[in-house]
Amino acid sequence: MDLGIKGKTALITASSGGMGRNIAHALAAEGVNVVLFARSADKLQAVTEEIEAQHGVEAIAVPGNMLVRDDVERLAATLRQNGGGPDIVVLNTARPPNPIRATLEENDEARWKEAYENQLWGTIQVVTHVIPLMLDRGWGRIIAITSASVKQPMPHHSLSTVFRAGVTAYMKHLSNEVGASGITVNCVAPALIDTSHRSDGAAYSAEQTAARKKLTPLGRLGTQQETTGVVTFLASMQAGFVNGATIPVEGGMVGSLL
């Protein structure tokens, strides 16, 4: 299927590794040029070179921190200089602090502050500086990566749930405000996704992984490709009437009808 996005430009945040890197590869495979934004300059440059070699698209590395205003302003300036602005924005963020804990054990103010800044404030800061570049283009896609815990809170995930729920609410408001400019805004809410590929080690122990497999009727963990496929579809022409939605990618874990 031709998704109609070949030649467009996508910004992907937190894209030097993990989910962000995989999303960048998935969009590049559809012929999308990518601008990658993350803190690690060396890793980011390696990903851009890898994408250009594998997919033959333009990839630009912009090292920076979503929490640093000067870095985000530099990102916006780079986007403005390269085509006037992005067509697609994927808002990926760093993971909440590890190890995960029960809610009443989350009594460390520094962990709450880190989770707030990484999950919510960084997202808001990028949106504030980048999305105005899209408003006069007549077409756009904004996709935030959240978590299925915003629909069904999972044990020991309060740091993730609280602020990603905030991102979900923020994106819903944004979808109502920028829709008239031809821009859709949606969230992808994954859970139970395999992290064994991570170079810094899996996020869950063997015991936690076995327990997580039992949370879905499918009896297995999801793959990175199953998540990036949903993101790529939401970035497509065919997804033009999907707006203000949260699409779960969690194998049927969430028990609600809606």
120-146 per-position pLDDT tens digit: 999 999 999 999 999 999 999 999 999
15-29, 95-109, 220-234: the lowest-pLDDT one: 95-109
Q: CA torsion sign, 40 to 18 to 126 to 48?
A: positive
Q: Give the residue, 99 or 32, on which the prediction is more confident.
A: 32
pTM score of the predicted model? 0.94
Question: Looking at residue 173, what is its pLDDT?
Answer: 98
To which residue do tokens 């992984």 refer? 209
Determine the Cα–Cα distance for residues 210 and 25; give it in Å rounded to an integer.
29
Question: Looking at residue 167, what is its pLDDT?
Answer: 98
To which residue do tokens 């921190």 refer? 65
Question: Closest Cα to residue 130, out of 168, 67, 75, 69?
Answer: 75
- CA distances 170 to 68, 114, 128, 135, 228, Å, are 20, 19, 12, 17, 22
Question: Looking at residue 206, what is its pLDDT?
Answer: 83
Mean pLDDT across the chain, nearest whole number? 94
Question: Looking at residue 96, what is its pLDDT?
Answer: 85
Question: Looking at residue 66, what is its pLDDT?
Answer: 97
In this structure, which topology does domain 9-249 adopt according to CATH? Rossmann fold (3.40.50)
Phi-psi category of 56—alpha, beta or left, where left has phi over 0 and alpha has psi -120 to 50? left
Question: Looking at residue 247, what is its pLDDT?
Answer: 97
Give the pLDDT mean for 50-57: 98
Determine the Cα–Cα distance for residues 60 and 51; give it in Å rounded to an integer.
10
